[in-house]
Amino acid sequence: MTIIVNGRNPHHIDPESIQVVARFNEIITKPLLEGALDTFKKYSVKEEDVDVVWVPGCFEIGLVAERLGKSRKYQAILCIGAVIRGDTSHYDAVANSAASGVLSAGLNSGVPCIFGVLTCDNMEQAINRAGGKSGNKGAETALTAVSLPHLVFLLVWQ
């Protein structure tokens, strides 16, 4: 997860990034994280510029992302997790809370918080989106983190 523009060169951002990753459903979140880290490497983001913070589950992502955003250390924050539907309405509560928590974290901190939480009906869908036949959504989330800070910088300084 990343964000905060250092302002030296408006056309180049040295991303300090942090990723908040949910431990729950780690069989899915770990490949999502690996996809994000691989994408950062492809875009020349240095390994030492990326921090990873593990949280218990998706419900906790928003709180941690907001605190990290308010630290002003990061240019973007990737929020990675997986909520998989079960037999109860718990899925709806966690998925909705995760989405609103990430949105609130970005709005309240002023740092882009990118929603990389899979919300799937079953484990097969989650596996397909964590590096399977549907690609790796963690990698896609990292692409957003690479481009969004620059866009926010341009909007703020124009």
Q: pLDDT, tens digit, for every residue of 87-130?
A: 888 999 999 999 999 999 999 999 999 999 999 999 999 999 99
Given this model, what pLDDT does residue 146 score? 85
**b vs e for 16-39, b when ≥16 Cβ sit within 10 Å of the residue's Cβ?**
bbbbbbbebbeebbbbbbebbbeb
Given this model, what pLDDT does residue 109 score? 95
pTM of the model: 0.85
Exactly one of 11, 12, 90, 150 is catalytic; name it. Answer: 90
11 among known catalytic residues? no
H/E element, 132: strand 130-132
Residue ranges with strand state E in 85-145: 113-120, 130-132, 135-136
Given this model, what pLDDT does residue 121 score? 96
Q: Which residue's entry shows tokens 């490949």? A: 31
Check if the beta carbon of residue 23 is closer than 8 Å to that of residue 55. Answer: yes
Query: Is residue 158 over pLDDT 80?
Result: no
Given this model, what pLDDT does residue 15 score? 53
Q: Dump pLDDT digits (tens) for 18-67.
A: 788 888 999 999 999 999 999 999 988 888 889 999 999 999 999 999 99
Given this model, what pLDDT does residue 75 score? 86
